[in-house]
Structure 1
Amino acid sequence: MSHEHLSQIPILYEDNHLLGIVKPVNIPTQADISGDPDLLSLLKDDIKERFNKPGNVYLGLVHRLDRPVGGAMIFAKTSKAASRLSETVRSRSFRKIYAAVVHGQLPAARGTLKDMLLKDPKTNMVSVVKKGTPGAKEAVLDYEVLGTAGGFSLVRIELHTGRSHQIRVQMNQAGCPLYGDQKYGSRVNKPGQQIALWSVIVGFPHPVTKEDVKLTSLPPAMHPWNLWTESVMDRLVME
């Protein structure tokens, strides 16, 4: 993966403490067993080159996006910023809003989904289980349907917990698997389709200045996102 590739990673925000970017789809956030180039390493190399830094560059991972998911993401450029941002995540004052295209129609125009999720580390699959199941964790999200078209719904989702594969599993449990989700929606998706899940807003108090920072990113204007007009898509990043 050359530097031409990195020039395609738009920078949304940068100062001495933080680096906010648009994660491209199909790049792992951090090194994994695939051995493919990962976002963290690419960004570190880029900082090293742009600022002509000798030695190791620090870049802290504060939150993750699944490999096939793109959109707004924040990284910490100092360990102090990283620990403060991680605290923000733990105290739930770190906002994560996503856009998803799902099959079918959700039971209401807006609502809250609460499920108990259990991850199987062997298969890396997450399933909805009964309350009281050992190892299960509560998953909570709010959703709002912004439009329906061609048998699909465009949904804006705010995560209140950060469970593995949470949106994919909870939407599937609600009877509306994500477009292109090969793992939890294989019965309605074709192999090779790109999952329609995008990180549209990441918001948090700046770890040093305490000012509100809000990063926004809209999904690419391609199928299935382009089933909706620009003005509908713009609502994804409005408050």
Structure 2
Amino acid sequence: MKLDIVYEDDYLIACVKPYGVPSQLDKTYGVDMITLVKEYLYEKEVEAVEAEGKSSEDVEEPYVAVINRLDRPVAGIILFAKDESTAAKLSDMVHDRKIAKFYQVVVRGFMKDAEGTLKNYLYHDKRDNVTKVVPEGTKGAKYAELRYEVLDELDTDEGPISYLLVELVTGRHHQIRCQMAAEGAPIWGDSKYGTVKEHPRPVKGAHGKAFNKGAGKNKGAKNKEKSEIGLYSTKMIFAHPVTGEEVFLHREPEGKAFEIMDQFDW
């Protein structure tokens, strides 16, 4: 699988994660993004060394750390650090909310308001890998916040759908998926979360080096979760952790949910 690279320098690399591909190695032992990035960087270094007439035997496995993990059925921009120092700085920036992360989202149903902020406390139930909205003070619960804007809405034969731009303020497990479902507007294609709540009216508005040691061991592993939902990491903005210059990453969404929206001239 060839990487779709959005940005790269000596410290960072950002690329597009396809739907259905995990951010890192999981129990299905299939292809994952960390392995793909490692293979790309390894081959790039081998080519550079060999171009200088040197042996590539001593080229080591690259360091790669994922900064913004995306769920398997989510696609879009995913960011990696190439060294431990950069990874630590970016991790601190994520913790301090200094990386702006935007998603384009297609949900089933209409939102109550044309724009707003969702604030909840979420609990990750690791037994079934589902996140739930719970009362404040619940043991193990974490505060979650996002901002949304309704870009457009459609009435289809399969029911109403809405097109949103979401800014993720915090970064909790399955946060957008859980909060949207709790709002009565689950993400298109997301069978894991919620049901539609009817609102009365619309609100208009390479070299053979294997870095994934388990790859291919269990290709037949079943994954109950659908491989694609209407959630796309479309934009990231932050100060470069080394140079301090602004980094602006952007990709327009693609996928079945967004193709549905494109069928209509609005």
Give the TM interval when normalised to the shorter protein.
0.7 to 0.9
2:80 to 75, 87, 93: 75
1:155 and 2:127 are equivalent in the alignment: no
Distance 1:122 1:182 in 2: 18
Distance 2:226 2:174 in 1: 19
Query: Counterpart amino acid of 1:173?
Result: A
The root-mean-square deviation of aligned C-alpha atoms, in Å, is 2.0
1:201 and 2:235 are equivalent in the alignment: yes
**Per-residue deviation at 1:24?**
0.9
**Per-residue deviation at 1:34?**
1.2
Distance 1:30 1:99 in 2: 22
Deviations 1:74-123 (A, max 9, x none): 10111111111111101101111001100111110000001110011111
Describe how 1:147-226 pairs up with structure 2 within 5 A: 147-149=152-154, 150=156, 151-185=160-194, 194-220=228-254, 222-226=255-259
Q: Could you say which residue in structure 2 is the equivalent of 1:29?
A: 23
Describe how 1:124-143 pairs up with structure 2 within 5 A: 124-143=129-148
1:66 and 2:71 are equivalent in the alignment: yes
Question: Larger relative contact order (C-alpha < 8 A, sep ≥ 6)?
Answer: 2
Distance 1:12 1:127 in 2: 33
Query: Counterpart amino acid of 2:69?
Result: R
CA separation of 1:111 and 1:186: change in aligned 2, threshold 3 A: closer
Distance 1:210 1:82 in 2: 15
**Per-residue deviation at 1:193?**
7.2
Give the match's secondary structure for 2:92: helix
Describe how 1:81-160 pairs up with structure 2 within 5 A: 81-149=86-154, 150=156, 151-160=160-169
Unaligned runs of 5+ in 1: 234-239
**Per-residue deviation at 1:223?**
3.3
**Per-residue deviation at 1:187?**
7.6
Distance 1:104 1:145 in 2: 12
**Per-residue deviation at 1:219?**
1.3
**Per-residue deviation at 1:229?**
4.8
**Per-residue deviation at 1:148?**
0.5
Residue correspondences, number: 223
Distance 1:33 1:126 in 2: 20
Give the match's secondary structure for 1:83: helix
Give the match's secondary structure for 2:16: strand
Give the match's secondary structure for 1:167: helix
TM-score for the superposition, normalised by structure 2: 0.79
Unaligned runs of 5+ in 2: 47-55, 198-224
Greater shift after overlay, 100-109 or 46-55?
Answer: 46-55
Deviations 1:123-167 (A, max 9, x none): 101111111111111110000000001310001000111000000
Share of identical aligned residues, percent? 39
Q: Which aligned runs of 4 or more in structure 1 are off by greater than 2 angstroms?
A: 185-188, 191-194, 226-230
Distance 1:213 1:206 in 2: 6
Larger Rg: 2
Give the match's secondary structure for 1:171: helix
Conserved? CA contact 1:74–1:202, under 8 Å: no
Query: Counterpart amino acid of 1:71?
Result: G
